[in-house]
Amino acid sequence: MDSTNVPRPRGRPRRFDPDQAVATAQHLFHARGYDAVSVAHLTEAFGIKPPSFYAAFGSKGGLYARILDRYADIGAIPLAELLRPDRHVAACLQAVLEEAARRYAADPAAAGCLVLEGTRCNDPEAREAALVYNLAAEEVIRQYIAARYPQEAERVTDFVSTTMSGLSAKARNGHDLDRLLATARLAGASLAQALHD
């Protein structure tokens, strides 16, 4: 049994792998930001010409939407795992901040959060697309807090998301893992104080 034993589709076969291209594009967008990556950069990185790009992905914005989805699946912070009902809320939120620090500093050539940085680009469509993912993540955090601290959910969520935005910004400004982690841990003190029982 051959794992590549899919019936060959009709027509001329592709000379490039769209999935590989999406992965390459994700790295490019993460490293330089949506605005600074042109279709010419992408097509050169993929080894194809613009018409093949548009046939495969529709538009630069369309490719970006695919990448946001991919990032939410395999690149973003696993909130569902970190926000545990059987642990202290403050401890889990601090774990989220520390995980953010680790991921934002993991690749200095692509620092910060792809989604958070995307919410600040100059293309309205791409910005709104990134905002959807950002707001969805904030909503997960808010619900998690509200289950045990309904009075504090709004402001603590704001604090966590503001801190994450700051961590992403500073990661892109060159703060390394140690500095980001120290900042995340310091922020945790606020959480412990706001959510003490």
Partner DNA sequence: GAGTTTAGGTAGGGGGCGCTACATAAACCC
Partner DNA sequence: GGGTTTATGTAGCGCCCCCTACCTAAACTC
168-174, Cβ contacts within 8 angstroms, sequence gap of 24 or more: 168/100, 168/104, 168/111, 168/112, 168/113, 168/116, 168/117, 169/112, 171/101, 171/104, 171/105, 171/111, 171/112, 172/111, 172/112, 172/117, 174/111
Instruction: Please state at what angle helix 39-46 crosses helix 50-57, rounded to 10 degrees.
Output: 90
Q: Which does 165 bind (CB under 5 to 8 A by kind): a second copy, DNA, none?
A: a second copy
Does residue 12 interact with DNA by CB under 7 A?
yes
Q: Residues 45, 27: contact at Cβ < 8 Å?
A: no
Output 14 or 155, the one with its CB closest to a second copy.
Answer: 155
Q: Toward a second copy, which CB reaches closer, 21 or 68?
A: 68
CB 133 within 8 A of CB 72: yes
40 binds, among a second copy, DNA, none (CB under 5 to 8 A by kind): DNA
Q: Per CB under 7 A, which of residues 37..66 are in contact with DNA?
A: 37-41, 47-56, 59-61
Q: Does 122 help bind DNA (rule: CB under 7 A)?
A: no
Site string for DNA, 21-40 (x = CB under 7 A): ----------------xxxx
Rule CB under 7 A: is residue 124 a binding residue for DNA?
Answer: no
| 3-state helix, strand and coil shares in percent for the chain, rounded to the nearest 5 | 70, 0, 30
Task: From the list a second copy, DNA, none, pick the one residue 38 interacts with, judged by a Cβ distance below 5 to 8 Å according to partner type.
Answer: DNA
In the bound state with DNA, the residue whose beta carbon lies nearer, of 17 and 107, is: 17
Select from 2, 5, 6, 11 the one that contacts DNA (CB under 7 A). 11
